[in-house]
């Protein structure tokens, strides 16, 4: 999953955004970009999901929401334009000889919106929240996690030491995203307050004109020393769930930057907008139920494998996702764990699917329901036809509410969402093994072993071996049923915004990287 270099996961906010119905209306028609006067005081981003569906606690979300939350919060380390980690709230850092202790030297001039100051005690108070299972960003550092922190100690007012259960070289990378975001003293003391009010030290603050779930308005934070690094005085995140509506908003001038799906790129380009692209997002059906609680058939690995064989991925891409890549791998094509063997092993084969269903005790198929939204309905209807051809009845139900979309992880056996794999270990521990996609606590020894092996890998060869094992098992087990790898497309108004650049291989540009057109 193309996550920034962080202990991150694809959050349920992203999934719900993919499931929910409806969109913010945006008119179509001709482009108004040529006539638009560049406005360097404000930037409007049309995004595909509600980044603050859980409120304003940055530790409850993943790196998919990093771009939004980096406007409100600073991180201990900062994601750099090349994808590496640089100084943030921590000026510098050092490890002990065996990489089991990371010591951070903190800035001493940082003020939060509640008036509190950054110090080692505040960092400790934040990281000591790691036992809270609701904090997605801390999943891997909690007890039992792959990067477990066993203690956080105040060395001095400006120095804090993190002690790990086992060596963690390179852990500073994790602190450059939501895992490293620090909440102010009041927010830590009363975390419920973060549901409605952020408490950060970031370059922006939340403006009262914000309408939760619709638009989030950020204005420059005069107390932030780093605010000058951000070009725009005001940034508006406009939630537009429907892909065509986002493209229309960009073309009509309602948005300056928009997240585009591949099937709207040609339309946007034809209207004169710029488009920057990067690969690595795998649109995947995720088996929420591996124990048969919501649909008994899903307890059978052969049934989940049958679904792999039943889907004609090439036809799906040809019909609905021009320019994207059919995917039989859970991990993206440019990842260390990608293997063409899976393309052959799980090639479209409805007869094999029927045979596996019979072996699993379902010769006449079975029936289940999946929750859909505006962004996923068409894909799921195509998959529905493929599954029907092998005897599986998949009822596609449109989500009637946010609650129904969020509840789908526990009430339905299968979901569908875009996943980014920049940090496979963080994704596995934060979302797949321990996180929101596995609320029923299913286990798979091979997946756990491969994830642990990848976490411990110290060179490229070891990473490739472990990542390949992980990728292969995700598909063979049917925990992941990948459909296609999508290009991430950022459309932008060339009259107002300079070419959008990605941070290394990260699918979400840095908020600071948006600059006015020259």
User: Quick one: three-class SS letters along 85-109?
Assistant: EEECCEEEEEECCCCCEEEEEECCC
Residue 12 contacts residue 515 (beta carbons within 8 Å): no
Mean pLDDT of each 10-residue bin along the chain, 518 residues long: 32 40 35 51 94 92 87 96 91 94 97 97 97 86 87 98 89 91 98 96 97 96 94 97 96 96 91 91 95 97 98 96 92 92 98 98 98 92 98 96 87 92 80 85 96 88 96 98 92 96 86 94
pLDDT at 322: 85
3-state secondary structure of 397: strand
pLDDT at 16: 42
In a domain, 136, yes or no: no
Cβ atoms within 10 A of the Cβ of 38, count?
A: 12
Alpha carbons 417 and 9: distance in angstroms, whole number = 12
In a domain, 469, yes or no: yes
CATH number at residue 392: 3.10.105.10
Strands in 101-106's sheet, in edge-to-edge order, are 90-95, 101-106, 159-164, 149-156
Sign of the alpha-carbon torsion through 378, 379, 381, 385: positive
Cβ atoms within 10 A of the Cβ of 75, count?
A: 25
- Which of 478, 103, 171 has its CA nearest to residue 310? 478
In a domain, 288, yes or no: yes
In a domain, 54, yes or no: no
In a domain, 349, yes or no: yes
In 110-184, alpha helices (H): 120-127
In a domain, 143, yes or no: no
Q: Which domain holds residue 463?
A: 281-487
Q: What are the backbone angles phi and psi of residue 262, rounded to the nearest 5°?
A: -60, -35
In a domain, 73, yes or no: no
Residue 416 contacts residue 437 (beta carbons within 8 Å): no
Cβ atoms within 10 A of the Cβ of 295, count?
A: 17
- Which of 297, 74, 95, 306 has its CA nearest to residue 200? 74
In a domain, 359, yes or no: yes
pTM here is 0.68
pLDDT at 39: 62
User: Quick one: three-class SS letters along 37-63?
Assistant: CCCCCEEEEEECCCCCCCCCCHHHCCH
The rounded Cα 41 to chain-centroid distance in angstroms is 29
Domains contained in the chain, number: 1
pLDDT at 449: 95
- Which of 309, 435, 297 has its CA nearest to residue 366? 297
Cβ atoms within 10 A of the Cβ of 459, count?
A: 8
Region class of 248: left (phi > 0), else alpha (psi between -120 and 50), else beta: alpha
Residue 451 contacts residue 295 (beta carbons within 8 Å): no
Alpha carbons 356 and 307: distance in angstroms, whole number = 9
Cβ atoms within 10 A of the Cβ of 349, count?
A: 17
Alpha carbons 431 and 138: distance in angstroms, whole number = 11
Query: What DSSP line would sit under 280-335, residue for residue?
Result: EEEEEEEES-SSSSS-GGGG-HHHHHHHHHH--HHHHHHHH-TT-EE--SSS-TTS
- Which of 161, 130, 160, 171 has its CA nearest to residue 6? 171
């Amino acid at each position: 999953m193309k996550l920034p270099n962080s202990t991150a996961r694809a959050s349920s906010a992203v999934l719900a955004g993919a499931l929910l119905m409806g969109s913010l209306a945006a008119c179509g028609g001709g482009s108004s970009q040529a006539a638009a006067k560049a406005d360097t005081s404000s930037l409007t981003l049309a995004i595909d999901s509600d980044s603050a569906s859980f409120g304003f606690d940055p530790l409850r979300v993943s790196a998919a929401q990093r771009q939004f939350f980096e406007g409100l919060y600073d991180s201990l380390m900062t994601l750099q334009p090349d994808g590496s980690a640089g100084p943030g709230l921590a000026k510098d850092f050092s490890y002990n000889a065996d990489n089991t202790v990371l010591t951070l030297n903190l800035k001493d001039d940082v003020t939060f919106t509640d008036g509190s100051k950054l110090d080692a005690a505040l960092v400790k108070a934040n990281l000591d929240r790691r036992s809270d299972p609701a904090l997605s960003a801390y999943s891997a550092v909690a007890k039992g996690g792959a990067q477990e922190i066993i203690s956080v100690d105040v060395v001095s007012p400006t120095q804090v030491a993190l002690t790990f259960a086992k060596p963690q070289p390179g852990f500073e990378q994790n602190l450059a995203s939501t895992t490293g975001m620090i909440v102010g003293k009041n927010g830590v003391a009363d975390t419920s307050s973060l549901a409605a009010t952020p408490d950060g030290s970031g370059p922006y603050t939340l403006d009262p004109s914000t309408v939760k779930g619709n638009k989030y308005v950020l204005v420059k934070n005069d107390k932030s020393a780093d605010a000058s690094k951000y070009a725009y005085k005001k940034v508006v995140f406009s939630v537009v769930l429907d892909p065509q509506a986002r493209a229309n908003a960009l073309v009509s001038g309602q948005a300056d930057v928009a997240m585009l799906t591949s099937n709207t790129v040609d339309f946007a380009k034809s209207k004169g907008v710029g488009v920057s692209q990067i690969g690595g997002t795998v649109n995947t059906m995720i088996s929420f139920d591996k124990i048969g609680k919501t649909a008994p058939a899903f307890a059978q690995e052969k049934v989940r494998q049958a679904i792999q064989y039943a889907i004609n991925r090439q036809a799906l891409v040809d019909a609905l996702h021009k320019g994207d890549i059919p995917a039989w791998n859970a991990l993206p094509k440019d990842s260390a764990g990608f293997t063409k063997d899976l393309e052959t092993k799980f090639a479209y084969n409805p007869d094999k699917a029927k045979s596996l269903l019979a072996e699993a005790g379902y010769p006449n198929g079975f029936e289940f329901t999946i929750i859909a939204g505006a962004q996923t309905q068409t894909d799921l209807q195509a998959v529905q036809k493929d599954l029907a051809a092998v005897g599986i009845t998949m009822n596609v139900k449109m989500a009637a509410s946010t609650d129904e979309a969020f509840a789908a992880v526990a009430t339905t056996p299968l979901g569908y969402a875009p996943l980014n794999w920049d940090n496979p270990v963080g994704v596995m521990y934060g979302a797949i093994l321990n996180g929101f996609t596995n609320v029923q606590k299913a286990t798979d020894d091979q997946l756990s072993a491969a994830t642990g092996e990848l976490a411990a890998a110290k060179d490229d060869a070891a990473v490739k071996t472990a990542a390949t094992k992980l990728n292969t098992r995700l598909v063979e087990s049917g925990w992941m049923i990948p459909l296609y790898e999508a290009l991430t497309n950022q459309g932008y108004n060339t009259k107002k915004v300079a070419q959008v650049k990605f941070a290394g291989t990260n699918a979400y540009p840095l908020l600071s990287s948006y600059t006015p057109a020259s």
